[in-house]
Amino acid sequence: MTTLGNLWAFVVVVGLLTMTPGMDTALILRTAAVGAPRRAWGVVIGIQSGTLTWGVLTSAGVTALLTASHLAYEALRWAGACYLIWMGLSMLWAARHRRSNQSIQPIDESPAAGNDFVPGWRRGTLTNLLNPKMGAFYVAFLPQFIPSGASAFAFGVLLTCVHILLGTAWSAVLVLLAHRLRTVLQRPAARRLLDRITGTVITGFGIRLAISSH
């Protein structure tokens, strides 16, 4: 397959994977839907920062060391699982104990409520980097699309940047969709339902990460 053919094949495959609903989708939608656009974009950029880190490390061959080291992989896996479970349960707790009169106000009306870019970026980055499955995915996935004779590092980083562009574009669609539906999604009942769904999804991913094998 030619270099251009490899690139287009990667775009098709990773594009389909990007649009598949998962933890990132749930987190972005929930953050944008509750009226925190800056924080939502922080989450988006944080997730893509993690993707860039995994892609560069994989292209440099560093991630292969992580997946080959049982101790390093297990440490990162448990750290990621604990973080995801904590984040998911926090959302479920908030959904259960949020008072209706507090839920009427959108989050972005109060700076103290967390409509900041940095907290969102931190959450998105940690969610991505503390998932060793991302490293394992890149180790198994990226080399298949690097053409023979090409620089593994340069082409690997190029593919990672393509992945980031596709992920950011899809995230923009999600943020726009949540923004259009914000009147409905900011209602107390809808907010509680959204927190329950997102909390359950993230907790589920954390549990699955905890019980998964290397």
Predicted local distance difference test score (pLDDT) of residue 78 = 86
Task: Tell me the average pLDDT of the chain.
Answer: 82
Domain ranges of the chain: 28-211
What digits encode the pLDDT tens for the residues 21-53? 888 888 898 888 876 788 999 999 999 999 999
Concatenating the DSSP letter of every residue in 39-83 gives HHHHHHHHHHHHHHHHHHHHHTTHHHHHHH-HHHHHHHHHHHHHH
Predicted local distance difference test score (pLDDT) of residue 116 = 84
What digits encode the pLDDT tens for the residues 164-181? 999 999 999 999 988 888
Predicted local distance difference test score (pLDDT) of residue 101 = 43
How far apart are the C-alpha atoms of 61 and 141, rounded to whole Å? 13
The pTM for the full model equals 0.78
Higher pLDDT, 159 or 137: 159
What digits encode the pLDDT tens for the residues 105-154? 443 434 444 468 999 999 999 999 988 878 888 888 888 888 888 888 99
How far apart are the C-alpha atoms of 73 and 177, rounded to whole Å? 36
Higher pLDDT, 55 or 139: 55
